[in-house]
Chains A and B, each alone.
Chain A
Amino acid sequence: MARVSATPLKTEEPQILDGHGDDQGTRRRVDLINLLSRYAIPLLLIVIVATFCLLKPSTFATADNIDSVLSIEAVTIMVALAGAMVLVVGEFDVSVANNTALVAALVVGLQVLQHVSWLLAIIIGLAVSVVAGLLNGFLVVKLHMSSFVATLGTYSLLEGAWIWYLSDQTLSPTKPMATPFVDIGRASLFGIYAPFYVAIILAMVAWFVLSYLPTGRRMYAVGGNRQAARLSGIKADRMVIGAFVAAGLLAGIGGLLLGAQYLDASPGAGSELLFPAFAAVFLGATTIRPGRYNIVGLLVAAYALAFMISGLQQLGGVWSEQWIGPTFNGAALVIGVALSTSAFAARERRSKREQLRRLVVGASASRPGKGLIKNAGVNDVAH
């Protein structure tokens, strides 16, 4: 797991430089394979939706169903975004799932139990999520703990916190909750509930930051090689703490959406988010920009998984049983990571072989035209 989180995944096999006289046909085939693997998950999403629309036109292909998948999945996407922020800088944060659960419990609970105004409840909830992120960052950067272990600890800590807060009871509001708060979860535009829009907008912000702002570049640099980033003048520790805090905040917003959607906070809600979210992150890293934790890939993967599970459940029979969800998410996570790590290993092998070959060619560039050397294309190597 640690390996996976530290090294971006990769399904695409980078082509090795092969001179000019290389077989064009092979190259075109390689390109096609690259293209296919790059867009395999988006393709899968389309196939899944189309298949279930055909199989279950009366239940799956309804506006209601699509709408509910889109908006329910919003919370998973928030958790996934949080997870991705930390993975980009080369660390791992499991605690985001329970961060979401705790904030969901707080924003509802504070209003119902402590009779706090909805706005203050939200502020307190998000403040708690940021503090949790800060704690993670502190443990990892200042105390040099392994991020997996540290956040596993805070994961349990946060779980303890919300179980204590709710005393293991499900909250049900005795009087109607404030309208603005209810609207966060229930307002709809073009027939789709607000959480979907919130998640999509935040995902776009995250995408923009990671792909186009200097901060995003620095984050990827820290994740790619922390030492190199430091030597380039990047304050790596600050970036890592920042990533944990951003993750906390995103997870907190997820909790807000969760609380506003259900207007109660049933124990267990958060832990159930962990696997779907990380399955989406890892699977997403194999697509669109393979080898990199990327937001578009994450969105596509999250919805592919959500529609798949929703569709399967509507098939009825064995497919609608409880075990399908976790099994499916677990399998997707394992398969996604396996695909990309094996591709990563192949890439490493290839680049090693490549370098060995270059060594041979470089050293014997003075006598070109012999077997190995000819094939290797001296032009590229001998500068």
Chain B
Amino acid sequence: MLRESASGSTEDTTEAQRAHESAPESVQSDSGAVVLEVRAMRRVYGATVALAGVDLEVQAGEIHGLVGPNGAGKSTLVRILAGLEPPDSGEISIAGETFSALSSSEEARKRGLAFLHQSFGLVENISILDNICLVTGYIRRSGRISWRDSANAARRTLAKVGLEGIDLKSDANQIPLAQQAAVAIARALELKAKVLVLDEPTSALQEHEVDVLFEILRNLTAKGVACLFVSHRMNEVLAICDRVTVLRDGLAVATLVKTELNEARLVNLIAGLENADTRPPQASDAGTSAAMTTVAAPESEVPRLLINGAFSESVGPIDARIEPGTIVGVTGLADSGHLHLAAMIAGIETSEGVMELDGHAYAPKTVSDSLSRGVAYLPPERLASGLAGGLSLRENLFMNPPQPWYRPIRPRRERQMAREVLHRSSVRPEEPEREVVTLSGGNQQKLLLAKWLSMQPRLLILCEGTAGVDVGAKRDIYEMLRRRCAGEGLAVVMASSDFTEMCDVCDEVLVLARGSQVSLLRGRDITLTAITRAAYSSPIRSREAQTI
């Protein structure tokens, strides 16, 4: 099947053949010359300014870090470079040639940009050889694929990234992740890439695999290839980057060279606190961010939820105590595991360790377990897992009617109740028979929250509860939660990677980084700086202590 599909594209092959025959080195360029330059790049979505005029300069032979908080515009910039979307204004120069936009990923590739994404982009269940040839083209002799020549070419390709001994016939998903990354890099380079853009390439890799990847990158830069390394892992950025550009609010706020680089400085730039170093240090967030802050707080006799050494593959060990009537934030960067912790409490993911709900052992195996104990879980993706878009607001609110099976639903009464709920939670419009898909994101989120609150939970777990929600709806949501906390002693676990939100609503914030609990902040200690510092720290997870 593969052979057939491959034989369809003759042009590709001839082009690739030429590539194979040409000089083995992918690029010849002087180290230090600017190979990629972005000038005054601007991109606006509706009223959201993603890029507000970014300038960026990448030199041949350097590894250039690109860091910034969530929503700073990193991914927009990468997408524009990849030709996936056009900028509103600005210029891109690649090796001296200037473009106003790269019209397609094909063009980006042709101009010498190569990309390595989190998942590396290999086709899992076909061979390494096919994965390489799909990009570089198969070599033909008299119209038919010559497997021997193709394999030799692939071997030469792989040799450049130090992957000599690999079995070309094994499927892509059968080799270690670091090698998959290497294959992806190798085939990208075969297209004569001048700049390799790596977008969070290490998030799936183990510690030692990261070292392998870095070794490959260093070899590449020695040959004059430039790397743009997009990451939020400070220790990796510090370890490998020659220069680092910090992006914030759609602007490049600083570019630091190796000698200027240190973790505190980077984190301050990311958090928008350039002058933080000159301020009198606060008690809890000065010094090493990874240190656990232990603050004594007033404790009730019985906590709503007690977590003791909860641990799973992706998060833990976690110790936490959640009091009735409080909102506890669980936060961290996208891959910190905060959502896994939420899922663990809800019984969706399994965990080791002990949990107690209102003083009684709590070990949910399924969602119905946790629900029957009064723990409600609001999933991160509204329409994907929280609401049925094709059903009406009323049906969504009363999806699981509480009455016995033989008692009919009374639509009029239900409509009345629905209208009250919608009014109370300020969902607009207050039309119970309207379909959920016709609501805006903010109103959907409020509806979802109203639905879950109408189940009268004792503990509510909210995952990325306000993502993609406008400011007004956010305020409504916070108010709803506050009211229920104060009135009924509801406890809320708010898992979110929106640090500002943590500062706005939470009584306590648990900060995770790479699955480890790095900080517990309370009351006045909850500041953007403190959260950012903790979230960007790089703790080593002590897995052994817990698993065995």
Kindly list chain B residues whose C-beta atoms are within 8 Å of the C-beta of A356: 46
Q: Is A323 an interface residue (CB 8 A)?
A: no
Bound: A356/B470 CA distance, A: 12
Decide: A213 and B408 in contact? CB cutoff 8 A. yes
Bound: A365/B472 CA distance, A: 9
Residue of B with least CB distance to A16? B438
Per-position 1/0 for A207-220, Cβ under 8 A of B: 01000111101101
Q: Is A314 an interface residue (CB 8 A)?
A: no
Q: Is A358 an interface residue (CB 8 A)?
A: yes
Decide: B48 and A363 in contact? CB cutoff 8 A. yes
Kindly list chain A residues whose C-beta atoms are within 8 Å of the C-beta of B437: 14, 347-348, 351
Decide: A359 and B409 in contact? CB cutoff 8 A. no
Which of B10-18, B88-96, B114-122, B380-388 lies on the face that meets chain A?
Answer: B380-388
Decide: A383 and B426 in contact? CB cutoff 8 A. yes
Decide: A217 and B429 in contact? CB cutoff 8 A. no
Decide: B440 and A228 in contact? CB cutoff 8 A. no
Q: Is A231 an interface residue (CB 8 A)?
A: yes
Kindly list chain B residues whose C-beta atoms are within 8 Å of the C-beta of A364: 46-47
Kindly list chain A residues whose C-beta atoms are within 8 Å of the C-beta of B426: 383
Per-position 1/0 for B375-396, Cβ under 8 A of A: 0011100011111111100011
Per-position 1/0 for A224-255, Cβ under 8 A of B: 11011111111100000000000000000000
In angstroms, how far is the closest chain A Cβ from the Cβ of B145?
A: 34
Decide: B405 and A359 in contact? CB cutoff 8 A. no
Decide: A227 and B384 in contact? CB cutoff 8 A. yes
Decide: B440 and A221 in contact? CB cutoff 8 A. no
Decide: B388 and A359 in contact? CB cutoff 8 A. no
Q: Is A346 an interface residue (CB 8 A)?
A: no
Kindly list chain A residues whose C-beta atoms are within 8 Å of the C-beta of B402: 214
Decide: A358 and B438 in contact? CB cutoff 8 A. no
Q: Is A360 an interface residue (CB 8 A)?
A: yes
In angstroms, how far is the closest chain A Cβ from the Cβ of B153?
A: 40
Q: Is B442 an interface residue (CB 8 A)?
A: yes
In angstroms, how far is the closest chain A Cβ from the Cβ of B404?
A: 8
Decide: A351 and B408 in contact? CB cutoff 8 A. no
Indicate whether A213 sits within 8 Å of B409 (C-beta atoms), given known contacts A224-B388, A231-B385, A232-B400. yes
Indicate whether A232 sits within 8 Å of B399 (C-beta atoms), given known contacts A351-B437, A383-B476. yes
Indicate whether A355 sits within 8 Å of B440 (C-beta atoms), given known contacts A233-B368, A363-B48, A363-B470. yes
Those of A73-88 within 8 Å (CB) of chain B? none
Kindly list chain B residues whose C-beta atoms are within 8 Å of the C-beta of A292: 390
Those of B402-425 within 8 Å (CB) of chain A? 402-409, 411
In angstroms, how far is the closest chain A Cβ from the Cβ of B279?
A: 31
Indicate whether A17 sits within 8 Å of B385 (C-beta atoms), given known contacts A8-B390, A351-B438, A356-B46. no
Decide: A355 and B441 in contact? CB cutoff 8 A. yes
Q: Is A380 an interface residue (CB 8 A)?
A: yes
Q: Is B401 an interface residue (CB 8 A)?
A: yes
Decide: B438 and A14 in contact? CB cutoff 8 A. yes
Across the interface, B472 reaches (CB within 8 A) one of A16, A220, A355, A362, namely A362
Decide: A214 and B390 in contact? CB cutoff 8 A. no
In angstroms, how far is the closest chain B Cβ from the Cβ of A206?
A: 14
Q: Is B435 an interface residue (CB 8 A)?
A: yes
Those of B427-470 within 8 Å (CB) of chain A? 428-429, 434-435, 437-438, 440-442, 451, 455, 470
Indicate whether A212 sits within 8 Å of B408 (C-beta atoms), given known contacts A16-B438, A221-B388, A358-B441. yes
Indicate whether A383 sits within 8 Å of B388 (C-beta atoms), given known contacts A231-B379, A233-B367, A354-B440. no
Bound: A358/B437 CA distance, A: 13
Residue of A with least CB distance to B400? A232
Decide: B399 and A354 in contact? CB cutoff 8 A. no
Across the interface, A228 reaches (CB within 8 A) one of B387, B401, B406, B428, namely B387
Per-position 1/0 for B105-135, Cβ under 8 A of A: 0000000000000000000000000000000
Q: Is B318 an interface residue (CB 8 A)?
A: no
Kindly list chain B residues whose C-beta atoms are within 8 Å of the C-beta of A234: 399-400
Bound: A351/B439 CA distance, A: 8
In angstroms, how far is the closest chain A Cβ from the Cβ of B476?
A: 6
Decide: B400 and A233 in contact? CB cutoff 8 A. yes
Q: Is A100 an interface residue (CB 8 A)?
A: no
Indicate whether A220 sits within 8 Å of B395 (C-beta atoms), given known contacts A16-B438, A231-B377, A383-B428. yes
Kindly list chain A residues whose C-beta atoms are within 8 Å of the C-beta of B399: 217-218, 221, 228-229, 232, 234
Q: Is A291 an interface residue (CB 8 A)?
A: yes
Decide: A17 and B390 in contact? CB cutoff 8 A. no
Kindly list chain B residues whose C-beta atoms are within 8 Å of the C-beta of A360: 46-47
Decide: A224 and B389 in contact? CB cutoff 8 A. yes
Indicate whether A228 sits within 8 Å of B385 (C-beta atoms), given known contacts A17-B429, A354-B438. yes
Bound: A16/B437 CA distance, A: 10
Indicate whether A230 sits within 8 Å of B434 (C-beta atoms), given known contacts A220-B391, A380-B429. no
Kindly list chain A residues whose C-beta atoms are within 8 Å of the C-beta of B400: 214, 217-218, 221, 229, 232-234
Per-position 1/0 for B25-50, Cβ under 8 A of A: 00000000000000000000111100
Kindly list chain A residues whose C-beta atoms are within 8 Å of the C-beta of B438: 14, 16-17, 351, 354
Kindly list chain A residues whose C-beta atoms are within 8 Å of the C-beta of B411: 212
In angstroms, how far is the closest chain B Cβ from the Cβ of A209?
A: 10
Per-position 1/0 for A367-383, Cβ under 8 A of B: 00000000000001111
Question: Which 4 pairs across A and B sit closest by C-beta, in order of nearness?
Answer: A224-B388, A362-B470, A363-B47, A227-B385
A-B contact sample (6 more), CB < 8 A, given A225-B387, A228-B399, A292-B390: A212-B408, A217-B395, A218-B399, A231-B379, A359-B45, A364-B46
A–B Cβ pairs within 8 angstroms, 24 of them: A8-B390, A14-B435, A213-B409, A214-B400, A214-B404, A217-B395, A224-B389, A225-B387, A227-B385, A228-B399, A230-B368, A231-B377, A231-B385, A233-B372, A235-B368, A354-B440, A355-B440, A355-B441, A359-B46, A359-B441, A362-B442, A365-B470, A380-B429, A381-B440
